[in-house]
């Protein structure tokens, strides 16, 4: 069976649905082809089921890309306020959790229902269980699935990245880009827990569950948020943020007591210089199990001022060289992707192949933790949708 449309969108995730509704609003006849049995599965599991759907403080600096300027145009033309207006139009209750992060009060399904409703209102056709077998281009794009053929002059690739293969992530978008001669920046897992080397693991991982506010830094980027010890390494927002910048064998630096001085009390000549008083000071700043473990591993061998200063430095500059990350199975996002040099920043259209667009996570633009990845999906989806 042959279906003809003005535009075909591959992938009914955040970016694909936004693009479809924007194009539909402009009167385009749009089909979204989705291999899974339902749209927006990642939206449903996002933000712990509450979907951190945008961030009020979204700036270009919240994104990684080989070209840090590329995302600016799309982000400026579709802002968090634009998405919020849509959320409010649908009377979806939401709240700001922290640092400008907006979450649904009820459930992430509110966001998915809203996008589906908007798509229905403008006549977007969504084809589920549609596994694409071949894409070709003659005078127009032809997409073949097992039992249908779709024709359109424009094709938008919104098939996401490699993170969480168990809910359907594939390399499809990258393969298609390569098929059409577009360059790819090798993808790597972002916003992902770090795994420690065996020795560090044996020192710290029995403390799994312990959490503390730190400043974690890597590759010139710093994040002050919580760190969590896990059974295999380190996680929590601060670590997830630096993980996107981490490449083996770089070290990660962790300030365990930001803006605090553990040894200040010892400036008083009357203060007893003993391990129990040092333990008491460290326990003021760190969870006691972590403070005790730190002292077991870093106990001073003298009580001189230089030894105290060295101890202080270590607390603020814990240098960890991770063995690796938990990989795409646990990564919240895929960094790298379709090289932005290949795309027009205003429309997301390929410079080499007119009518071919790439949006969302498949593009080499990756947000920090905190609603930025959805904001990129909305903004890049809207940019392409308005150009179709």
Q: List residues binding ligand FAD (CB under 6 A).
A: 10-16, 33-36, 41-42, 45-47, 51-52, 132, 158-160, 163-164, 168, 170, 172, 332-333, 360-361, 371-374, 377
Task: Look at strands 94-96 and 101-104 and give their pairing.
Answer: antiparallel
- At closest approach, how far in Å is the CB of 297 from ligand FAD? 33
Is the Cβ of residue 130 or residue 217 nearer to ligand FAD in the bound state?
Answer: 130
Is the Cβ of residue 34 or residue 200 nearer to ligand FAD in the bound state?
Answer: 34
Q: Strand 149-152's sheet: what is its strand order?
A: 2-4, 149-152, 141-145, 132-137
CA angle 119, 56, 189 (to 5 degrees): 75
- At closest approach, how far in Å is the CB of 239 from ligand FAD? 16
Question: What token pair was written down for 115?
Answer: 């996008």
State which residue has the least CB distance to ligand FAD: 13
d(CA 229, CA 68): 32
Is the Cβ of residue 60 or residue 287 nearer to ligand FAD in the bound state?
Answer: 60
Is the Cβ of residue 135 or residue 308 nearer to ligand FAD in the bound state?
Answer: 135
- At closest approach, how far in Å is the CB of 115 from ligand FAD? 10
- At closest approach, how far in Å is the CB of 82 from ligand FAD? 15
In 3-state terms, the chain is what percent helix, strand and coil (to 5)? 35, 25, 40
Largest CA distance in the chain: 88
- At closest approach, how far in Å is the CB of 330 from ligand FAD? 9
d(CA 193, CA 331): 8
- At closest approach, how far in Å is the CB of 201 from ligand FAD? 24
Chain Cα centroid distance, residue 196? 21
For 10, list phi and psi in degrees, rounded to 5: -95, 115
- At closest approach, how far in Å is the CB of 88 from ligand FAD? 19
Is the Cβ of residue 161 or residue 233 nearer to ligand FAD in the bound state?
Answer: 161
Ramachandran assignment for 33, one of left (phi > 0), alpha (psi -120 to 50 degrees), beta (any other)? beta
Mind giving me the DSSP string for 103-163?
EESS-THHHHHHHHHHHHHTT-EEE-S--EEEEEESSSEEEEESS-EEEESEEEE----SS
| Residue that has been written with the tokens 């809207």 in this structure | 382
Is the Cβ of residue 115 or residue 218 nearer to ligand FAD in the bound state?
Answer: 115
Is the Cβ of residue 16 or residue 24 nearer to ligand FAD in the bound state?
Answer: 16
Question: What token pair was written down for 196?
Answer: 């420690």
| Residue that has been written with the tokens 């059974």 in this structure | 231
Is the Cβ of residue 158 or residue 229 nearer to ligand FAD in the bound state?
Answer: 158
- At closest approach, how far in Å is the CB of 372 from ligand FAD? 6
Do residues 155 and 7 make contact, with C-beta atoms less than 8 angstroms apart?
yes
């Amino acid at each position: 069976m042959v279906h003809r449309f003005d535009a075909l969108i591959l992938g009914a995730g955040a970016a694909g649905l936004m693009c479809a509704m924007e194009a539909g609003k402009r009167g385009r006849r749009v089909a979204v082809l989705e291999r899974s049995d339902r749209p927006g599965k990642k939206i449903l599991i996002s933000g712990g089921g509450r979907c951190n759907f945008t961030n009020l403080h979204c700036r270009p600096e919240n994104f990684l890309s080989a070209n840090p300027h590329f995302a600016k145009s799309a982000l400026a033309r579709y802002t968090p306020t634009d998405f919020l207006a849509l959320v409010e139009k649908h009377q979806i209750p939401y709240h700001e959790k922290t640092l400008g992060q907006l979450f649904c009060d009820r459930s992430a399904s509110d966001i998915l229902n809203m996008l589906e409703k908007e798509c229905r209102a403008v006549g977007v056709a969504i084809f589920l269980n549609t596994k694409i077998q071949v894409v070709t281009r003659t005078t127009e794009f032809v997409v073949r699935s097992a039992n249908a053929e779709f024709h359109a002059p424009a094709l938008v690739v919104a098939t996401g990245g490699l993170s969480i293969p168990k809910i359907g992530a594939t390399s499809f978008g990258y393969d298609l880009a390569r098929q059409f001669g577009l360059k790819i920046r090798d993808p790597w897992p972002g916003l992902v827990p770090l795994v420690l080397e065996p020795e560090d693991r044996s020192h710290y991982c029995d403390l799994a569950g312990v959490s503390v506010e730190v400043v974690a830094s890597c590759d010139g980027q710093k994040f002050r948020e919580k760190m969590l010890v896990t059974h295999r390494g380190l996680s929590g927002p601060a670590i997830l943020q630096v993980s996107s910048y981490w490449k083996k064998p770089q070290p990660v630096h962790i300030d365990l007591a930001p803006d605090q001085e553990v040894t200040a009390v010892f400036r008083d000549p009357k203060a007893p210089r003993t391990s129990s008083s040092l333990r008491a000071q460290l326990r003021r700043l760190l969870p006691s199990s972590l403070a005790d473990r730190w002292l077991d591993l870093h106990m001073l061998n003298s009580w001189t001022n230089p030894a105290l200063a060295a101890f202080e430095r270590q607390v603020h500059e814990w240098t960890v060289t991770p063995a690796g990350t938990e990989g795409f199975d646990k990564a919240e996002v895929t960094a790298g992707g379709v090289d932005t040099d290949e795309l027009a920043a205003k429309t997301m259209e390929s410079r080499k192949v007119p009518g071919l667009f790439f949006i969302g996570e498949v593009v080499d633009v990756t947000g920090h933790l905190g609603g930025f990845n959805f904001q990129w999906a909305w903004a890049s989806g809207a940019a392409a949708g308005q150009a179709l």
